[in-house]
Amino acid sequence: MDDIKEIKKEIWRVKQVIETEEKLKADWDQQFEATQKFLEADPHNQEVAAFLPEFKENVDAVKARLKPLYEKLAGLEAQLPQAPEVAAPKFDPEKHPLLKKTLEKTEPAKPVVYNTGDMCEAQWHDKSWYKAKIQAILGAASDPKYHVKFIEYDETMTVDANAVRPLQVKRKREEPAVSTAPVTSTPAVISGPVSVNPNAVVAVPDAETAAPRRKKIKNSKALAKSVANWKDFSSSMGKKVGAQKESMFRTGTNAGSRVGFTGSGSGMTEASKRVRYDNKADVAAEMAEMEEAKDRAYEAYKGNRIVTNPPWSPPPRRARY
């Protein structure tokens, strides 16, 4: 593997040297040809004629250097592994009865020539084909353009030749063939050919041919009755509603009017002010109550009165371990 890499590198170096020498040879050949053309116009110019031998020598020297390079390149390329040859096919596809048909070259379709008034199908902007009629032929004979009118949509448009095609004939559905199987009958089995009645078709109404459904129209008495009922309903609703009342949400038109309920007799509802709960006041009240209880207990003790249920007693001390 390493030898193949070295050979490829050497081939690349030789090709670079050959490319440089070929460019140098092309320059000498160009100078030699230019000098010959100049001498053809002025054959007596000895100064220019003196350059011809020098140009010839340079060209021959470059050719001499290129010859061993070509030989070296051919030897290096021969050392590379050759690609495997493609195996010949085991059989000729052209001789196969089925593959021969697929390999046959189909002849190109001949261009269709249209005339004014011909019916065809043209392509609209949505890339769909619609039935149209050619009204005029524009452009050159090699690249014609057709001005068509779409039959179903009453629209005109100028299209290219590739946007026009003949009318597509829709193939009718083939009727099922009647079976012609021979009749076989035995003492055990009695059989016969299947018969299909082609005229037995389910009647399906066509949307276009079906008669439209007639709308039932009321007679004059029914219409008059319905009108009278509607008038009675309208008059009764008007009596029930009565005069329009003012809305309780009505806003005054004065500059100092306020938004709210009107006619209720009460003022605007005031929102209560949110105050943070003060824990310090509760602690101070508890401390004052404790001091007052101490004073009462002291006064009772001082007056030699027995207090069975003093209002306050100090909490017991916890034993320390």
- The answer to whether residue 202 scores a pLDDT higher than 80 is no
pLDDT at 179 over 80: no
Residue 271 pLDDT grade (very low, low, confident, very high; cuts 50, 70, 90) = confident
The average pLDDT across 65-83 equals: 85
- 122 beta partners: 130, 164
- Which range, 19-23, 80-84, 210-214, 256-260, is most confident? 19-23
What are the chain's domains? 2-79 (1.20.58), 114-169 (2.30.30.140)
Mean pLDDT of the region 234-262: 65
Interatomic CA distance for residues 167 and 107, integer angstroms: 22
Whole-number pLDDT of residue 277: 77
Quick one: CA dihedral 107, 113, 118, 119, positive or negative? positive
**Residue 156 near residue 148, CB atoms below 8 Å:** yes
pTM: 0.29
Res. 148 pLDDT band, cuts 50 70 90: very high
Res 226 pLDDT > 70? yes
Pick from 210-219, 239-248, 265-274: least confident: 239-248
Contacts of residue 153, defined as CB under 8 A and 6 or more positions apart, other chains included, come to 130
**What angle separates helix 51-79 from helix 2-41, to the nearest 10 degrees?**
160
What pLDDT does residue 244 have?
59
Most confident residue range from 102-111, 197-206, 256-265, 267-276? 267-276
Predicted confidence (pLDDT) at residue 40 exceeds the cutoff of 80: yes
Radius of gyration from C-alpha coordinates of the chain = 59
pLDDT of 60 > 80? The answer is: yes
Percent above pLDDT 90 for the chain: 4
Is 80 exceeded by the pLDDT of residue 82?
Answer: no
Report whether 183 contacts 192 (CB < 8 A). yes
Whole-number Å distance between alpha carbons of 230 and 242: 19
- How far apart are alpha carbons 174 and 152 in whole angstroms? 29
Q: What is the pLDDT of residue 35?
A: 83
| Higher-confidence position of 3 and 209 | 3
Contacts of 31 (CB under 8 A, 6+ apart): 51, 55
**What phi and psi values does residue 231 have, to the nearest 5 degrees?**
-65, -40
> For all residues of the chain together, what is the average pLDDT?
75
Per DSSP, the chain holds a count of helices (H) and strands (E) of 6, 5
Q: What is the DSSP string of 198-249?
A: TT-------TTTSPPPPPP---HHHHHHHHHHHHHHHHHHHHHH-SPPPPTT
Average pLDDT over residues 267-296: 83
Residue, of 150 and 143, whose pLDDT is higher? 150
| pLDDT for the residue numbered 45 | 82
* Strand, coil or helix: 250: coil
Range ranked top by mean pLDDT from 74-83, 141-150, 311-320: 141-150
- Of 30-44, 53-67, 138-152, 241-255, the poorest mean pLDDT is in 241-255
